[in-house]
Amino acid sequence: MKVHSGEKPHECSVCLKVFPVKSNLIKHMIIHSGEKPYKCSECLRTFAHKSALVRHVKSHTGEKPYECSVCLKVFKYVSSLNTHKGIHTTDEPYKCTFCLKRFKVKSSLIQHMIIHSGEKPFHCSECLKDFRHRSTFIKHMRIHTGEKPFQCSECVKGFPNKSSLKKHLRIHTGEKPYQCSECLKDFADKSNLVRHMRVHSGEKPYQCSVCLKDLSEKTALVKHMRVHTGEKPYHCSVCLKDFTQRSSLVHHKKMHSGENPYQCAVCLKDFKEKSYLMQHMSLHSDDRQHQCSRCLKKYKKKSYLTQHMRTHINENLCPVSVCLKD
């Protein structure tokens, strides 16, 4: 009868999710225990629930038993089919009395109404943050519990939410659905496209509160602020030297390790930095792009040109014997 009444008396003591029957709670608790008793015979991957194993096995068989009755598109999972069906219907019978926004299902309307009430009934006992929606609260709690229930079927990496998994999967599929309208460059993530578009627009929305310098990215602002604060959060574990940027620490560590990962393909000489290798490669090339403006002689390196220019300076000096004649 609890199923029909909507009553959910069984609550998870870890993430506070509630269930109508005790068996569902027991099944859910496996997520927090870390126990994975169901193993795939093909790839030996393990799962917390039998239903998850059944879904996973379809990735090996390629089976797609769920078919859309409208367009005949097939899906591996019934949840994917149900989501897809929304494309074929425009019926939105549930309307918000405040902003007149319409919804296909009543539950979506009820969730939306919380925005207008200003109510935040879901309270995190760890950091005291409040949330309007239960789904947002549950996602937030995973920060504290470390729970990562969404697992990649390719590399078994876990994620705290479905959207993060979806982004990650593009690494395996190579999908880049976001395209720049200016230069047609493709991106796997929308946030990367937004950042890239600032190259074309010149927009710099992040301003330093100290010197008022404008920057195009938030990460660049964080790095810049260390100029004013003197903060050096990256520490060398060998000599205890501190650095403002991670890249500087990585560069510094090569001094201790003796690592030279960049090798010249011509003479096999090794270098610590890619820039050093690029500079060295000019020795094997006939490219001499540094030209003297006086005698037009060319050099491979700017330092060689600078050294050469001194010969012309000496030419301009007046000999002492000539000056004495006057």
pLDDT score at 209: 92
Q: The tokens of 102 are what?
A: 């319409």
C-alpha distances out from residue 114 to 11, 98, 140, 217, Å: 23, 11, 18, 33
SS3 assignment, position 298 = strand
- What letter would DSSP give residue 262? E
Q: The tokens of 118 are what?
A: 């200003």
Q: The tokens of 139 are what?
A: 């996602």
pLDDT (mean) for 286-312 = 83
pLDDT beyond 90 at 211: yes
Burial level of 211, CB count in 10 A (0-12/13-18/19+)?
exposed
The string of DSSP letters for 69-81 reads TTT--EESSHHHH
pLDDT beyond 50 at 323: no
Q: Answer yes or no: are the C-beta atoms of 178 and 192 closer than 8 Å.
A: yes
pLDDT (mean) for 101-126 = 82
Residue whose C-alpha is closest to residue 28's, from 38, 6, 13, 39? 13
pLDDT (mean) for 137-147 = 88
The string of DSSP letters for 191-257 reads HHHHHHHHHHH----EE-TTT--EESSHHHHHHHHHHHH----EE-TTT--EESSHHHHHHHHHHHH
Q: How confident is the model at residue 314 (pLDDT cuts 50, 70, 90)?
A: low
Q: Answer yes or no: are the C-beta atoms of 93 and 78 closer than 8 Å.
A: no
Rounded CA separation 308/251 (Å): 32
**Partners of 199 in the beta sheet?**
none
pLDDT (mean) for 83-93 = 74
- What letter would DSSP give residue 14? T
pLDDT beyond 80 at 207: yes
Residue whose C-alpha is closest to residue 30's, from 18, 8, 14? 14
Q: The tokens of 283 are what?
A: 């020795």
Q: How confident is the model at residue 326 (pLDDT cuts 50, 70, 90)?
A: very low
**Partners of 215 in the beta sheet?**
206
pLDDT (mean) for 136-159 = 87
Q: How confident is the model at residue 8 (pLDDT cuts 50, 70, 90)?
A: low
pLDDT score at 213: 92
pLDDT score at 315: 62
pLDDT (tens digit per residue) in 266-280: 888 888 788 888 888
Residue type, 191: S
Q: What percent of the chain has pLDDT over 90?
A: 6
Q: How many CB atoms lie within 10 A of CB 192?
A: 14
Phi/psi of residue 80, each to 5°?
-65, -40
Q: How many CB atoms lie within 10 A of CB 188?
A: 17
pLDDT (mean) for 291-315 = 83
pLDDT beyond 50 at 1: no
Q: Which positions ≥6 away from 308 have C-beta within 8 Å?
A: 292, 297, 299
Q: Answer yes or no: are the C-beta atoms of 193 and 180 closer than 8 Å.
A: yes
Q: How confident is the model at residue 121 (pLDDT cuts 50, 70, 90)?
A: confident
pLDDT (tens digit per residue) in 161-204: 888 898 899 888 888 888 988 888 899 888 889 889 988 888 88
pLDDT beyond 70 at 141: yes
pLDDT beyond 80 at 307: yes
